[in-house]
Amino acid sequence: MGESRTELLAWLNDLLQLNYTKIEQAGSGAAYCQIMDSIFADVGMTKVKFDTKQEYEYVSNYKVLQHTFDKHKIDKIIPVDRLMKCKFQDNLEFMQWVKRFWDANFPGGAYDALARRKGRAGGATSRAPTATGTRRPPVSTAAGRSASRTASGRMSSTGRQSSSSASANVLDNHSAAMIIDLNKQIAELKVTVDGLEKERDFYFGKLRDIEILIQEQLETNAAMEEPQEDPSVLKDIQAILYNTEEGFEVPPEGEEQDLAAGSMPVGDSEDETF
């Protein structure tokens, strides 16, 4: 069972020198980026936006986070679309996973969170969850941010869809890389299986030739008054050929004949050694 909300907030605020009051505030992605920076110390913190309220800026933060995951080969899927909605349960579950990852990989020592983000504030507030988003964001003292916020308030539905599409592209790129890697593994396994099947067919053909030779010799001996070969030895060899182990299933007769007929090309026989 993971840590509680209270335990996670205390750990998060202490590690990153923040003053978060809700787990949902991590939905901007900034805190997740800096937690990874405390482990690897190579996250592009200049690109991480803490004091942000806009969805397109959230997407920018998650691009930084996804880049870090790819760089360090972390195969955890980041549920960007759900986290950006700043819902409690989604961010609680992801933060619990992040805390476990941090416990297992933090190198120890002091981490100066303020210095890493160059003294920028940690963003004590965040937008409310989208389902109940009635609270207005606090007014910024910077005129530039106020103008930006006013313009973004008039963002069309097309703009919001573009932001969601950008977040989906982050995950699509990660999934595409995984698919390429899996296809490569499948190709390597197929080469291995093909080699094993070729070797199996070769030795099956050898055994089939021995079986036929013994049967013919036994029939010849049976027709002669004085057999040239000791039939008991031939029968012992035949018994070894026909002996099976527990759980082994003898293939159908037609399949055995197909293997014997097509398993040993003349050109391949010289390549095998005993």
Which is more confident, 38 or 249? Answer: 38
Instruction: Give pLDDT tens digits for 31-82.
Output: 999 999 999 999 999 999 998 888 888 999 999 999 999 999 999 999 999 9
Residue 153: the pLDDT is 47
Instruction: Give pLDDT tens digits for 3-19.
Output: 899 999 999 999 999 99
CATH topology of domain 5-155: Actin-binding Protein, T-fimbrin; domain 1 (1.10.418)
Whole-Å CA distances, 48 to 44, 165, 181: 7, 20, 30
Which is more confident, 244 or 269? Answer: 244
Coil/strand/helix, residue 21 = coil
Phi then psi for residue 119, to 5 deg, are 75, 0
Whole-structure pTM value: 0.47
| pLDDT of 158 strictly over 60 | no
User: What is the C-alpha separation between 100 and 121, in angstroms, rounded?
Assistant: 26
- Looking at residue 103, its amino acid is D
- Looking at residue 234, its amino acid is L
Residue ranges of domains in the chain:
5-155, 203-271
